[in-house]
Structure 1
Amino acid sequence: MLYWLMKYIIRGPLLRLIFRPQVEGLHHVPDTGPVILASNHLSFSDSIFTPLVVKRKVTFIAKAEYFTGKGIKGWLTKMFFVGSGTIPVDRSGGQAAQAALDTQLRVLRTGGIAGIYPEGTRSPDGRLYRGKTGVARLALESGAPVVPVVMLNLDEIQPPGKLIPKVKRVRIRFGAPLGFSRYAGLAGDRFVERAATDEIMYELMELSGREYVEVYAQKVKNASPAEPPPRQPLTV
């Protein structure tokens, strides 16, 4: 109830008025049935605008700490994530990745839309980074199609570390669904999952026009500034 209240009455109309989302390819998102929205990740606001422009409910996951903060700030943060349809997942233990996968599988098995960022974290510099294979595992285990979606300018509107977004028209692009039925029964095969993930990342690269970097974004964040990542083309 809170999700729809926020989307259509409280937050949604205001955001649409201020940021005037320009959306391409929204018809690629099916009206019914399970679907995975696989997106690049440029900004904290990505999880606001994707659910805003999709008619159906989109469920993302986030670390449980976002839901347990203290004071007014903690309460506002919790309400933001609850209102945007985000589910808390404990990512502190060794089974964190499996917990996230299981949560999204439950969404898909009830015919819902699961939102996922294959890069695993926000891009540190706007480029597209190597995808983690969880998105492929999710597709193979659920049988759901993957619709690639790219945020085209949210790193300009709200870069990492910037609290107040710049008022500018948001641009989002959806691509044609990707099916992986040819890999049916092969969930858990690391070579198959890597191939499927790379196919998804290739589509995100093509849709976004962003440079692709064949390393994980988190590794770049953890590296020193003196160790820039290599620049390599993505081939599938």
Structure 2
Amino acid sequence: MTATYSVLHSIVPPIARTVWRPTVRGLENVPTTGGVILASNHLSFVDSVVIPCVVPRKVVFLAKSDYFTGTGLKGLASRLWFEGIGMLPVDRDDSKAALASLDTALGVLGRGEAFGIYPEGTRSRDGRLYRGRTGVAHLALTAGVPVVPVGLTGTEKVQPVGSNVPRIVPITVEFGAPIHVAGRFDGVPQGRARREVTDEIMTAIQALSGQEEAGIYNARPEE
């Protein structure tokens, strides 16, 4: 845990909770120690700030490397901010980025930390819940850690596209019962196991978020 993280985490979450007063349910479902995956729906870029602000332990998310490589005072401020809230850089334009990000996540889980992930791959731009990609299941099955499903509502209204000022709107963060996969899929082909685990996680997320299911994979928006 870096000094920057310790300082920012002692300041940002209390302020954010005071201003936005999010409704938080099921926090007791998040283990206080040990490796755990927090698998959430994804509605806004602020999701990666909201979740760490309401969870009392450090939650690591991945963020695109551009946020960490800027120059000048703005670049320094960006790097300190993202490092301070527990994010790690990943190069999304690298053809090997997906594998590298999985290795990074396994390292986080191997240290007994909490790792946040969006199985949809990218944020939903129409509010629907898209089909989950199996990376989350790979992590859970490989690391043997539980998955806590997370349902977010309202975060897409905090700072809509085109708005420069965050809005104070109702936000709800709900944590579901942990999904334990260790030992459940012994002898099951890897591809089938990953698909079944992923679908189970997405079903749990949908029950928490109440979103309409898109039934298809989401695609990254063009930059």
TM-score, normalised on structure 1? 0.87
Partner of residue 120, structure 1: 121
Q: Secondary structure at the match of 2:45?
A: coil
Going from structure 1 to structure 2, the CA distance change for 1:167 and 1:207 (only over 3 Å counts) comes to same
Asked whether the 8 Å contact 2:38–2:149 carries over to 1, the reply is yes
Bigger relative contact order, structure 1 or 2 (CA pairs below 8 A, ≥6 apart) = 2
1:22 equivalent in alignment to 2:19: no
Identity of aligned residues (%): 49
Partner of residue 169, structure 2: 168
Q: Secondary structure at the match of 1:183?
A: coil
Asked whether the 8 Å contact 2:154–2:169 carries over to 1, the reply is no
TM-score, normalised on structure 2? 0.92
1:194 equivalent in alignment to 2:195: yes
Count of residues in Structure 1 that have an aligned counterpart in Structure 2: 219
For structure 2, the residue ranges without an aligned partner over 5 or more in a row are: none
Asked whether the 8 Å contact 1:42–1:159 carries over to 2, the reply is no
1:96 equivalent in alignment to 2:97: yes
Displacement, 1:12? 2.2
Displacement, 1:190? 1.7
**What is the 5 A alignment of 1:104-183?**
104-181=105-182, 182-183=184-185
For structure 1, the residue ranges without an aligned partner over 5 or more in a row are: 223-236
One-letter code aligned to 1:154: T
Partner of residue 85, structure 2: 84
Q: Secondary structure at the match of 2:122?
A: coil
Displacement, 1:160? 4.0
Give per-residue Cα distances to partners, 1:190-217, cap 9 Å, x unaligned. Answer: 2221111111111111111000111122
Going from structure 1 to structure 2, the CA distance change for 1:162 and 1:128 (only over 3 Å counts) comes to farther
* Runs of 4+ displaced beyond 6 Å: none
CA–CA separation in structure 2 for the residues paired with 1:193 and 1:83: 32
Going from structure 1 to structure 2, the CA distance change for 1:180 and 1:88 (only over 3 Å counts) comes to same
CA–CA separation in structure 1 for the residues paired with 2:84 and 2:187: 36
**What is the 5 A alignment of 1:60-75?**
60-75=61-76
Aligned CA-pair RMSD: 1.7
Partner of residue 10, structure 2: 8
Asked whether the 8 Å contact 2:40–2:150 carries over to 1, the reply is yes
Asked whether the 8 Å contact 1:124–1:217 carries over to 2, the reply is no
